[in-house]
Amino acid sequence: AGSLRRHKELIRDIDILVSAEQATKIMDTFTTLPQVAKVNAKGNTKSAITLKNGINADLRVIKNKEFPYGLQHFSGSKEHNVALRSRAKKMGLKMNEYGLFKGKKLIVCKNEAELYQKLKLDYIPPELRENTGEIEAAEKHQLPKLIEQKDIQGVFHVHSNYSDGANSIEEMARQCMKMGFKYMVLADHSQSAFYANGLKPARLKKQHKEIDQLNKKLKGFKILKGIECDILPNGQLDYPDEILKTFDYVFGAIHTKFKMPEKEMTERIIKAMQNKYFSILTHPTGRLLLSREPYPVNLEKVIKAAAKYGKAIEINCNPQRFDLDWRWCKVAKENGVKIVLSPDSHRIDTISDIYYGVGIARRGWLEKKDVLNTGPG
């Protein structure tokens, strides 16, 4: 339940809800798990622990008949719940974590969908429950059909040991194949990124030759040629056009001069977007959650420029980034800008970060048609 179920970008703690008539064995098991560092509280219906990774986790056990109401309540958000209760009150009903009542009589609901139905609403997925228009949309049957994990056909923006990745191109590709994907867009660093072993033109040729060979070898799978290309302070891209045209996708990235004034940074990005070979703006604000603030940039202008020039914007699915922020996904969608989900993976074991991005995309009201990964690549 809680913020984890809603796929928030920052999770303070973990809320777990269980329906059962007897809680003793459940509490005993929960408080003695090998992952537990400390038991903070243990009761008949609620226990609290601290995990070895430092995260707190709470477990509640509620009766079976209370589960739909409890799950909805403890999933939140607080703002969404306040709005729902206000709606229930206007309908002559009372709503809390124990049930939906007409007077003292419980209105029986088998699941959350039935609970929302009793409030004359379409079912609202947890990711949308932030009181940002989802209740009004549910009332009008206008909720989006949110993107799902099964919709993802390919992986954009992975690195190899040609730059700062730990694995070979083939190892990254085979991991993508193992996970059921149909294609992978390689995007190692460009030449100015010397700190990340960025690729000079001669090494690019070697890499492209290897990709061509692997595409003949790996049946039923395709590796696309991409580059994470530095956007230089003057808005130029890190290679001349004769090199840029050899890529299937050019990911424009800011890696330097983060303290530029907002106007200059915005102009820098928009100028880069005007290059006909520029494809996707990657980690568009440069933020690192809990450690680095976004650089100053006017995202509204950047999104409008992306729409004007036909460029896509990335949700970087690395849990330290989640950049583009979900709040801007709706704006991108309204402007017709496609989104790309990218794990920015430097190792085979982080390709799965793309699934975190699906959660962020869902929070941003994105549908299958809004995300390039759902297409053929």
As a whole number, mean pLDDT of residues 208-221 equals 98
Cβ atoms 320, 286 nearer than 8 A: no
HSE at residue 167, side-chain half, CA atoms within 13 A, is 18
- Residue-wise pLDDT for 9-32, tens only, equals 999 999 999 999 889 999 999 999
pLDDT of 250: 99
Q: What Cα–Cα distance (Å) separates residue 347 from each residue in 97, 116, 170, 199, 343?
A: 43, 42, 12, 18, 10
Three-point CA angle 360, 166, 181, nearest 5°: 50
pLDDT of 377: 85
Cβ atoms 284, 277 nearer than 8 A: no
pLDDT of 200: 98
Q: How far apart are CA 36 and CA 360, in angstroms?
A: 28
Name the strands in the sheet holding 183-189, side by side, starting at the edge strand that comes first in the sequence: 154-158, 183-189, 222-230, 249-253, 280-281, 312-316, 339-342
Structure tokens at 365: 């009201």
Q: Backbone phi, then psi, for 117, in 5-degree steps?
A: -65, -40
Judged against a pLDDT cut of 90, whether residue 167 lies above it is answered with: yes
Judged against a pLDDT cut of 90, whether residue 232 lies above it is answered with: yes
pLDDT of 131: 98
Return the HEC string of the chain.
CHHHHCCCCCCCEEEEEEECCCCHHHHHHHHCCCCEEEEEEECCCEEEEEECCCCEEEEEEECHHHHHHHHHHHHCCHHHHHHHHHHHHHCCCEEECCEEEECCEECCCCCHHHHHHHCCCCCCCHHHCCCCCHHHHHHCCCCCCECCHHHCCEEEEECCCCCCCCCCHHHHHHHHHHCCCCEEEEEEEECCCHHHCCECHHHHHHHHHHHHHHHHHCCCCEEEEEEEEEECCCCCECCCHHHHCCCCEEEEECCCCCCCCHHHHHHHHHHHHCCCCCCEECCCCCCECCCECCCCCCHHHHHHHHHHHCCEEEEECCCCCCECCHHHHHHHHHCCCCEEEECCECCHHHHHHHHHHHHHHHHCCCEHHHEHHHCCC
Structure tokens at 224: 């696309």
Domains and CATH numbers, the chain: 65-143 (3.30.210.10), 149-374 (3.20.20.140)
pLDDT of 21: 87
- Residue-wise pLDDT for 308-335, tens only, equals 999 999 999 999 999 999 999 999 999 9
pLDDT of 222: 98
pLDDT of 8: 97
Judged against a pLDDT cut of 90, whether residue 226 lies above it is answered with: yes
Q: Which residues pair with 41 in a beta bridge?
A: 48
As a whole number, mean pLDDT of residues 279-294 equals 98
Q: What Cα–Cα distance (Å) separates residue 41 from each residue in 38, 47, 58, 61, 314?
A: 9, 5, 9, 14, 42
Mean per-residue pLDDT over the chain, rounded:
97
As a whole number, mean pLDDT of residues 96-108 equals 96
- Residue-wise pLDDT for 331-370, tens only, equals 999 999 999 999 999 999 999 999 999 999 999 999 999 9
C-alpha closest to that of 306 among 334, 341, 342: 334
Cβ atoms 246, 209 nearer than 8 A: no
Q: How far apart are CA 321 and CA 47, in angstroms?
A: 32
